[in-house]
Structure 1
């Protein structure tokens, strides 16, 4: 079983080996990052190498062995050279006459160590002489460490601000190294020999100092400042407060125990119970945490806020949009409250009368009580000067610009700060924050940060408002477009009924005409009912469900509808069944045939052609009318309310294209002025679509 001394010897060996590894890694780091303007770079690499050799020898033979002392001397000389070369960053190694002699003196004192080693080995044969030699060696080590620390002080204190940025980390590493060396040899000088714990600490620091020295020599941390964050400082002070309290409890308990006997034990137990109760009630309290936070920010930091952390938290709060998170308006109120540690907030948004009414609240005390609306005059004054009003704080008297806080908020003890949300000088809202557990007055930093965050929040709310307006406008646009389609169909039905009325005056006595008239009226009534049904479906978002439709039979029905008033011929009728909605497809074909008739002279035939290529079915409507130029086809044909016909709505072609697209089809147009136009509707064949769907299902399986 390993004894205590053996355990410490093993620990010292392990620490020195780890230090050697750390120095090797640090030297490799500096070598891979060559900087021509670093005069201390090469000496630092050499110092790392000599420190590695010393650590390996100390781990193998012991820190007090003769080879370790010789390696230690070489290591110290190397670090003195590094320290001297650090003065070369601003030329002080040549300009200051005191630097070089001090460095040479430190080197000379370091070289005395091998001399003392030789004396101790050959002439210090009595215990008294050996002890004197050891004390002299420790004293010389102390002189070297003190001289190095003095040089480090002059190095950093006398450097220009720009140079300090470069020297900061190298100087910090060397300061830690020489400070530990000084304490180690002071103890060795006073006691006679340093304990193994100190040797372990010495080896550990020799490895740890390689980190700042390597990063400093490679400019890896140039310009970086070591500073605790607000969160770390807050938690550290909290732990210190708790630790101090527990320490006082222990001391008080020990003092009570001095009473002696059963009375002392009873008083001790009673005191501990009371102290535990106070601990459970006081330490977790929100008020204590708030007090600690205010104290930390007030006394330990130049700036109250960690702006990076605040901005990341602000954007994270606003940007969350999951179903489990708060709605946008509550997130907006919370984001403003989190900035100055307010426990609750209320968001006011404008109404139609220019007032600001309560829209949403987050964690506001007394949620069952609604807050009064903010008057237009108060809101205008807030926006005009971008005032952030601290309720209950002394305000400028007689200043007409400063808004008068509403009496309801002035009398509310929870109300604390009123913040306007301005977007391009337009007030899009107001946030009211609740007074915190530990009240304080706002300062310039609070006001600046709140103004910036308020403008950012106002842009989010304005974007949300604009998005809602665009969605509403899109819904109205869709409704108007569909209503235009319906009006177009009603116009066609009205034209048919008007034509029927005129013919009734001439042929009312003809039994065949009366029979056709009844059929036409029945058909028109059916179409009106279909239009009403379509109107009821608009806006529901129900997709078109395609079913097999006989394209040739549909074409024959359309031809029969128009052939009595205009020559319309079915030139080809291939047998094909396409996937489509019967009602929508018929309506699209009717629109195109009617447009072809309107574009043609009386008596000029319009042809309807149905064909199939094995995958798709196609129905073409061809006329020999006036035709259209390419510019009209590309840019105006499918625009609503643009028509080449006098009094036309310009809706038929657009509605036909939209209906065909809804059925996963395609509408193509070919036209030339003076020659005519060809409209082609292409839809997938039902059998081909079914075959492709089954293959896809098999591949997915």
Structure 2
């Protein structure tokens, strides 16, 4: 095709586009008149177009009209493009982007200090378009530069086309099925404009020159989009339907747009390396592109980057920081997952709200003189914790009375904001500690969650604090529900145990009947050798049967009252019953005469059970050591063995559960009863164990003298 024919096609093609967009401006003018009339006549309000939509669409059509006229004029003078046509093209792209943002209802932010109430993100986009206009005025936008080894003009045009297509995708995706009926033709028309630009300028970058045939058909393509936009204009009364833009969609679209821009820039840099690298050019290009691809994949899979992008999008694109529907569904799904480990799931669900990488959970345990204490029950991506906190400590009292989320970083800089707060000493061992979230249930503190410093900086405000407080209450309700379910399960198991005793009594009755019958016949057959042998066999069987039944039922309630007991004597008495077993336990009394307030029989049984477990878990060549000492103003009984040991999972999930036993003849109640009675005395039972390295049980009980002094102080 000769130059004259091509120029003629460009003129007619873009002139047709100018006429079509001029005709499209007429119904916009009519709709403006109709909207004024609708304000006076309610019967006409159904044809009213939203002012922001009408303004943005009219501006886009006007800029496209000027762009088409300028291109037709330049082509009639023998030039395909000039700085004037390039400037109108930038304005055309900006106009259609503004129209798409108006359909998204996402171009104004309430309370924004920028002109016209613009969002910061839109203001940045406007600055980018202004920068492109400035580059055009300075001569850096000319497509002729592509032949001179400068891909920037074509690359920026490709980026504009990608931005436009992403906006079209967002408009269509975030509409309901009914709303898509109103906007689908507008999306097709505007999307076609940007898609053709993407094809044109991608071809230009690839072949380093503008294809004249593709350029000539551009005006005709723009003209064909007018009927589509006109059909959408006829359905414009549905454009004003309420719209909620999904944060997930924006997140993925932003990641996609950033990845496309990054790859485009890196591809251009790789091409430059190939051009200037000489004989090493191809090698340098391949190595560079592979490295940039690895960097991109690593960045996209980085938790810190994803957290930063979510915070950035929430801060600059939305009025609120959270999509509450998405957050609450995720929070509820995390807590409602089946299986054990609810404590870990609570930490994970709360931490995800503020992009925290880990944390720990403390829950309240009743017992003792101070009304209980809070002990660590779970940890997630954080070392296991052992520090407990008394329920009557200033720290717990502050959390319960104020129900505040405590920012430890803010407290370190401005402690006056928490005037009644006194941090526990053990918090100093965790330099990454950031937030303390109270778990409030029915106005009382049921526990608290300690969170790590987030991956991306998060500035706490009223919205985040309110969300954490509500999430804490929801988590407390789930934990309380689990505790109630566990208690009900234990009650049912004990009920089953009591029901089992009915069958045991039935067996005893059968044994008594057999013995009674034998006793009745003894007077007549006592001299019969066969009767004597049968009698001995029956008595022996009955004795063995009753011994077995007594072992199962030997856990009757005791009516004994609590009394001051010397703990070393109780331990010695418990050891005296274990003389027949090996290895023989070794006793070390470092502080004799320590007194506790307890029931002798129950305390002796508890300690005896722990000692028996240590003996049974240790081979004859091993050792079992019992140490009695004073610890933190109380009594410590430490039972250490060198036996098989236990895993952390077994200790957490099975050790203290009733009716869970690894022994063939065990009922799994011993350790459960031991812990419950120790808690009843106001103490606690700690376990440290490793598979193959042995186990250490630490029984911590309050001193009787301390208890008496505390009681006297309360009475005074």
Instruction: Please report the TM-score for the alignment, with normalisation by the length of structure 1.
Output: 0.43
Instruction: Please report the TM-score for the alignment, with normalisation by the length of structure 2.
Output: 0.42
